[in-house]
Structure formats: C-alpha cells, structure tokens
Amino acid sequence: MPAEFLPPHSDFSAIHAAFARDGVVILRAFAAPERLAAIRAAAMDELVRRVPPFELEAELGYPGAPQQEGEGAATIRRLRNMAARGEVFAGWAGDSRLLALIGALLDTRHITLTQAHHNSLMTKQPSFSSDTRWHRDLRYWRFSRPELVSVWLALGEEYPDNGALGFIPGSQHAELPDAAFDALEFLDATHPAAVPLVARAEFPSLAPGDVVLFDARTFHAASRNRSSQTKYSLVFSYHASDNLPLAGTRSASLPGIAYHLED
C-alpha cells in the first residue's frame, strides 16, 4: 500500500523518500473539516449551475458510460477550470502547506499550477459512471520534463466500490514497449510486460480530507461507482516553473498560475 503520513505532515524528508520510491503518497486528514466543508459546498453549487467548461461521461465513452442520447447523457464527469471558479478553489490550489510539500518533491521554490490539465472537480455517479483503465497522465501532457505532481483531495469517502483511484507503486520508473499500450495510450493489462506490473496494484481507501500526491508517470486506474452515493474529488497538478509546456500543445493552451515559496 502507498506510504501514509499523519498530521502535521512535516517530515518532508520521509515524504520525499516515499514519493521517490513509489510515485504516490497519502496524506491523511490534510484538509481541515471546516475547509473541506467550504470546498464541498462551493463544488456542489458549481455542479448545480453547470457553468462550462465541463466534460460529460458520454463524451468519452469509457466502459460503463451512458450513451450520448438517452438516460444519463447529461451526466457530468468533471468540471474544468476549477482554480478560476472562486476563491475557495484558488485558495486550496495555493495552500502554503501544500505548496511547501510540492516544492520539496520537485526540489524547487518556484511552482506553477497547470490550468490545462486536471484543474478539475471529478465526479462519479452511481448509475452513469465509467471505468478508467491503467494509464499515465503524461499520455496527453507535453512538458519539457515529465516531472509533475498531482494533488487529489477526497471530498467524501473513497473506496474501491465507489471508484477510488488505484495505483501501481513504483511504476513511474517502469519502461514498457509501445505494444503494451493501445491507440489511446491505455495500458494493455494482458500484455506480458504489463502483467507483473498490474499485479502490484493497490486501491487505497480515503476519508474526507485525505490527500493523495502522485507522480504524472505513475500508473493509475479507477472503476465505475457501484455504490449508491456520488463520489467527489478535487484535483490539481503542478510543475516546476522552469519546466515549460511545449509550444503548440494542449499543455500550453492556458497560462499556468505561478507560486513562489518564501526562503
């Protein structure tokens, strides 16, 4: 199971070592209950208002997703552009404790949040959610270096039956042949090179306020939601400010938000 750290999450050396080894760590009870409640309330308001940009389950058509016409066709999979949707989200994205940890993982005092990737409120509905197969986020991200850290905040309980993320610890270091991936760069879990990797997969359960930090090169996946309650998560991704998105790619389509840590 990925390494877990309890408050006050101040042992940066241990967190860094675990992240370097596994490509994923869990910070238990990182978000205070009152802050979590404010983020969740604002997120629910945004979902009710349905202000674009957002992505529908039916648009992607992953296994289990509804059809583009018929019941469930309007089910939102993710709200995009969350950092710009209000101070409660921008404040979380720029949280000083969070940025200090990310700076330690990226070995920099100059951090940028990418608004082109993640920057989303993720939802999984009980009846109209889908399976996301094993993949690395770098399949569509284009930066000078592959060193990005994602921050996943659980707004409620997350566990395998409601579509919690699973990870393959240490997979950020794996080198696989092109034949182990399909045309969309999802991993073929039956490929001989992938079988022993997938056998190491872990699906940790999260409580509200838990945070997962994971490397953009770490394989992760999630099933559809088989529970009776919708699951909500907020996810942002960061890179060192000198790790620039490649011109002309989607990664460069929106300006990042830069943060500078105090000495």
pLDDT in tens, 37-89: 999 999 999 999 999 999 999 888 888 877 877 788 889 999 999 999 999 99
CA distance 189 to 181: 9
Please enumerate, as own/partner, the contacts of 52-56 that have beta carbons within 8 Å and a separation of 24 or more. 53/79, 53/80, 53/81, 54/78, 54/79, 54/80, 55/80
pTM: 0.96
Q: What count of residues does the chain have?
A: 263
* Predicted pLDDT at 60: 82
Query: Which DSSP category does 257 fall into?
Result: E
In this structure, are residues 139 and 131 in contact, taking their beta carbons and an 8 Å threshold? no
How many structural domains comprise the chain? 1
Question: Which structural domain, as residue segments, surrounds residue 119?
Answer: 3-260
In this structure, are residues 230 and 128 in contact, taking their beta carbons and an 8 Å threshold? no
* Predicted pLDDT at 69: 75
Q: Take residue 97 and report the two structure tokens written for it.
A: 């404790």
Fill in the amino acid letter for 193. Answer: A
Q: Take residue 219 and report the two structure tokens written for it.
A: 């394989």
How far from chain centre, in Å, is Cα 238? 11
| Strands 76-79 and 120-124, sheet pairing | antiparallel
Element (H, E) at 104: helix 96-106
Residue holding tokens 């996810």?
235
- Encode pLDDT of 117-161 as tens digits: 999 999 999 988 899 999 999 998 999 999 999 999 999 999 999
Fill in the amino acid letter for 191. Answer: H
CA distance 150 to 246: 19
Mean pLDDT, to the nearest integer, of 190-206? 97
* Predicted pLDDT at 157: 98
- Encode pLDDT of 208-260 as tens digits: 999 999 999 999 999 999 999 999 999 999 999 999 999 999 999 999 999 99
Q: Name the residue among 77, 85, 47 with its Cα closest to residue 60.
A: 77
In this structure, are residues 148 and 233 in contact, taking their beta carbons and an 8 Å threshold? no
* Predicted pLDDT at 61: 82
CA distance 3 to 25: 5
The CB density around residue 140, as the number of other CB atoms within 10 Å, is: 14
pLDDT band at 164 (very low <50, low <70, confident <90, very high): very high
Please, what is the average pLDDT of the chain?
96
| CATH code of 49's domain | 2.60.120.620
